[in-house]
Amino acid sequence: MKILEARITIVGAPWRELVFLELTTDTGLTGVGEVRMVNKTDTLVACIEELAPRYVIGSDPFDVERLAWNVQRAEYGRPGEVTQSALAAFDIACWDLMGQSLGVPVWKLLGGRFRDRVPAYANGWYQAEREPAAISRLAKEVVKRGYRALKLDPFGAASAELPAADRRRAEAIIAGVRDAVGPDVQILVEMHGRFTPATAVRVAAVLKPYDPEWIEEPVPPENAAALARVRNATRIPIATGERAHTIADIREFIEGGIADIVQVDLTHFGGFLAMKQLAGWAAAHYLLMAPHNVCGPVGTMANVHLAVATPNYKMLEHFNDFADLWVHDLVDHAPRVSAEDGCFGLPERPGLGIRLNHDVCRAHPRTGGRINLFEAGWEKRGVSQS
């Protein structure tokens, strides 16, 4: 089996653009991958278009080790966000082709079934004014949909410091959400790398009474020593890693005991092959995986397959029930969170088990959509629900 063609489809929403890659083989099979690139769609597309004829067209989709080596080593330049995202698109589509050719779901090739249900947590749901009452009402709706965990960033457009009035507002929002959802629903507090270590420590102390499941990226992601200052000052678990793109990027955080939950993104970390390698290494340090996921249905389905086969997988982020609801229609069998237990079910179709609906994709052309997390009102995400 050889790959003959690579086809890119871009779908636009007010705050994100979804890049789908389809690889077609000489056997008539088509595998699909997806990346939601953060604000640099054209850059990603250029990388895919440059690397595909060099390393993908004419290759056997089973040769993912060689593919990864070519992109990461043969290219000589250090792999980073763009190249690792392009590699992930290739890798995911190749695993889809492997599964289809063998007639089995991808999770069977990644180690088999470890779990039947994949816990999900909600994001993108707090599209409202940054007021406790409004956000608490939306939190109740999340729980009604079956979710047992939800994440929010209550800090507005804060950067470096958080003035006293904003700190009180953030605390009131988290307190309101805790009151709305009860003691058993997990609340995940996103910080988006906003703060200095001193500010992050102060904020963590304020939030501790509301029992957050984790605080996420409390300081910018590059400096392990800075995050260690926060780690040493709070007992709240710390999640980080969504802006790590290679094992080298996350090494200090794992080996130094700084991260409690590893959040690397399947679609920015090179795909399935790299994620399974990382999961094993994280497990050696008794750490759990909770991958970042801002993808549409293809990337989400890929994450579900990974979760099924990965013992130290905690839960999966999910936007598509709350932001841009129509993205479910971009494929024929979109992954869905059950209202009964807040989990994704076990995929049973060969490969990833989904195909793009090109008519729906064409109905949502590129928007140039991007998100600026340091701009007031970013959390409303364009409020695109049609």
Which H or E element spans position 175? helix 164-181
Residue 187, phi-psi category: left (phi > 0), alpha (psi -120 to 50), beta (remainder)? beta
Backbone angles phi, psi at 367, to 5 degrees: -120, -10
Backbone angles phi, psi at 313, to 5 degrees: -95, 125
Residue 262, phi-psi category: left (phi > 0), alpha (psi -120 to 50), beta (remainder)? beta
318: annotated active-site residue: no
CA distances from 236 to 206, 207, 266 (A): 11, 9, 25
Q: Amino acid identity of 257?
A: G
Count other Cβ atoms within 10 Å, centred on residue 201: 18
- Residues 193 and 227: their CA atoms lie apart, in Å, by 10
- Residues 354 and 286: their CA atoms lie apart, in Å, by 33
Owner of token pair 């059950």:
338
Q: Which of 245, 268, 285, 292 is catalytic?
A: 292
Which H or E element spans position 239? strand 238-240
CA distances from 65 to 59, 93, 168, 276, 351 (A): 12, 14, 50, 12, 18
Going by DSSP bridges, is the β-strand pair 186-190/214-216 parallel, antiparallel, or unpaired?
A: parallel
- The rounded radius of gyration (Å) of the Cα atoms in the chain is 20
Angle between the N-to-C axes of helices 81-102 and 297-308, in degrees from 0 to 180, rounded to the nearest 10: 70
292: annotated active-site residue: yes
Q: Which of 192, 245, 268, 318 is catalytic?
A: 192
Query: Is the CB of residue 30 less than 8 Å from the CB of residue 14?
Result: no
- Give the residue numbers annotated as catalytic, written as ranges: 192, 292
